[in-house]
Structure formats: structure tokens, C-alpha cells
Amino acid sequence: MELMTFRLELILISVKLSLMLRNQEVKLLAQDLKDLTAMPKL
């Protein structure tokens, strides 16, 4: 029983981490797009 809850916690942590990483990637992509759209103005 202990092992199961431990596994579930590990799964939750990994899911949270992957979501955070994906969120970070999206922010970086948005920043890249902003930079690209700002380029012609310069």
C-alpha cells in the first residue's frame, strides 16, 4: 500500500514538472514570436 501511494506521488510530481516545462516552452515560443514580429519595425 505504501508503495502505491509513493508511485502515485511520483507520477503527480512528474506530471507537474512536465506541465511546468511545457508552460516554460510556450512562454519562450511567445517571446520568440514577439521578437520576430518586432524585427521588421527595427
Measured in residues, the chain has a length of: 42
pTM to 2 decimals? 0.60
Looking at residue 42, what is its pLDDT? 54
- Residue-level pLDDT at 38: 82
As a whole number of angstroms, the distance between CA 42 and CA 30 comes to: 19
Q: How high is the pLDDT of residue 41?
A: 61
Average pLDDT for runs of 10 along the chain of length 42: 89 96 94 84 58
Cα–chain center distance at 42 = 31
Listing DSSP states for 1-42 in one string gives -HHHHHHHHHHHHHHHHHHHHHHHHHHHHHHHHHHHHHTTT-
